[in-house]
Amino acid sequence: MSALTNRPPLSVASLRPARPQRMRPAIVIVGLRYGRTVLQGLMNRNGGGAFDVAGVCDLDGPLAEEVSACFGLRRFRCLEEIIETPSVDCVGLFTGPTRRAGFLDELIAGGKAVLTTKPFETDVDATAAVLARARQAGLSVHCNSPSPAPVAELRHMQDLMASGIWGRAVQARASIWASYRETADGSWYDRCEECPAAPILRLGIYTLNDLCDLFGECQSLDILSSRIRTGRPTADNAVAQMGFPSGVLASVQSSFCMDGYMAYQNEIEILCEGGVIRRQREASEPGEERTSVAVYAAQGGMLREVDRQSFSQPSGTYPLEHFANAVVRNQSNSAEYDARLLRSVALIDRLRHAETRIATS
């Protein structure tokens, strides 16, 4: 039994009859510590967006009351209340990843599709079981990373490598960072077992997922991490080293200690035999993020830009339209997407065993 419900999980056999299809499914946001940010985006576009926001839910009563009053939304007290509301079609679940599969299981058994956030879960077996139950129930379970299908920028990078024009990919360098001056608060962010290699798990997981979409299953993973200025017991600075079956070697730098510039870039540079493919964020307004993918050819011992394309909705963006369409059409995940979700959770599980902590003064 979870803390957000008052009874044991329902069985799939107890699903209610299918609800009438709606053009804009009704969604409840659960977990407001982070979910409030997603809610703000939904409310900003609610007049013509993908969803009708039906309410909010959080175990923190004052927070739930504050957010429900701020946005004029119904406050749901627990998952059971959401499940028993026929007008609710789906849930945005933004609780921590540890034991999230239990919440997913309850919602799926109650007939609700789910949109959640990275990292998807930390237990591979629990993830496999809940995804199987979602397929059986005909419900979608989507995440922002990995997304239901590789986004346009990644497909373009895959096409560039498949063309063979630039030779074989050899190495990849990637980075993502931000400036966090955090203090311990008793959340899962403070627990080394639940949050290993914290900058990689919390930020770099976007990049790890993208690299696996580009190069396939990761064969080896090693992590170095350190604590430079965080008030948490977990790390705030880390580097991942990855190896892939093709022979590609990749490094991912992720840190919470980089002040004031280029935050959340999620840049990837692929070094090929005859050139370089580089993805980076473009300057843009909040909510209108764009990325560019540029190709640099090796000519006369120098690199010269020969192509650049721009893309909206970069990797890591919540797949709102895709999820809404899946809910309206009663579509479950594809087998390929479930496999990518499992691959991501397996990477998270490996972080615990791969991390080597560097002592700092």
List the structure tokens of 302. 């120098």
Q: What is the DSSP track for 6-62?
A: SSPPPPGGGPPPPPPP-SS-EEEEE-HHHHHHHHHHHHHTTTTSS-EEEEEE-S-HH
- Cα separation, 72 vs 65, in Å, equals 10
Core vs surface per residue 1-31: b (16+ CB within 10 A) or e = ebebbeeebbebeebeeeeeeeebbbbbbbb
Q: Which amino acid is at 17?
A: P
Please tell me what DSSP assigns to residue 232: S
Core vs surface per residue 178-208: b (16+ CB within 10 A) or e = bebebeeeeeebbbbebbbbbbbbbbbbbbb
**Short-list 292, 253, 273, CA closest to 174:** 253
Structure confidence at residue 21 (pLDDT): 52
The secondary element (H helix, E strand) that includes residue 136 is: helix 124-137
| List of E strands, the chain | 26-30, 52-57, 74-76, 90-93, 113-116, 141-143, 169-177, 220-226, 237-243, 249-255, 267-272, 275-281, 290-299, 302-312, 355-358
Residue with token string 């309410």: 55
Q: Provide the 3-class DSSP secondary structure of residue 268.
A: strand
pTM above 0.85, yes or no: yes
End-to-end CA separation in angstroms for the chain? 43
List the structure tokens of 107. 């919602």
Structure confidence at residue 260 (pLDDT): 75
* Domains present along the chain, CATH in parentheses: 12-147+319-330 (3.40.50.720), 152-317+348-358 (3.30.360.10)
Mind listing the pLDDT tens digit of every residue in the chain (361 residues)? 344 544 444 344 344 444 455 579 999 999 999 999 999 888 876 444 789 999 999 999 999 999 999 999 999 999 999 999 999 999 999 998 988 999 999 999 999 999 999 999 989 999 999 999 999 999 999 999 999 999 999 999 999 999 999 999 999 999 999 999 999 999 999 999 899 999 999 999 999 999 999 999 999 999 999 999 999 999 999 999 999 999 999 999 999 999 977 888 899 999 999 999 999 998 766 567 899 999 999 888 889 999 999 999 899 999 999 999 999 999 999 999 999 999 999 998 899 899 998 877 5
- Decide: residue 115, CB within 10 A, 0-12 exposed, 13-18 middle, 19+ buried: buried
Structure confidence at residue 4 (pLDDT): 56
Tell me the pLDDT tens digit for each residue of 114-160.
999 999 998 999 999 999 999 999 999 999 999 999 999 999 999 99
Q: CA 240: distance to chain centroid?
A: 18
Structure confidence at residue 12 (pLDDT): 41
Structure confidence at residue 14 (pLDDT): 42
**Short-list 73, 68, 77, CA closest to 52:** 73
Q: 172: number of CA atoms within 13 Å, CB side?
A: 31
CB 213 within 8 A of CB 207: no
Structure confidence at residue 2 (pLDDT): 44
Tell me the pLDDT tens digit for each residue of 186-227.
999 999 989 999 999 999 999 999 999 999 999 999 999 999
- Which residues 6+ apart lie within 8 Å of 353 measured at CB? none
**Short-list 269, 284, 348, 345, CA closest to 317:** 284
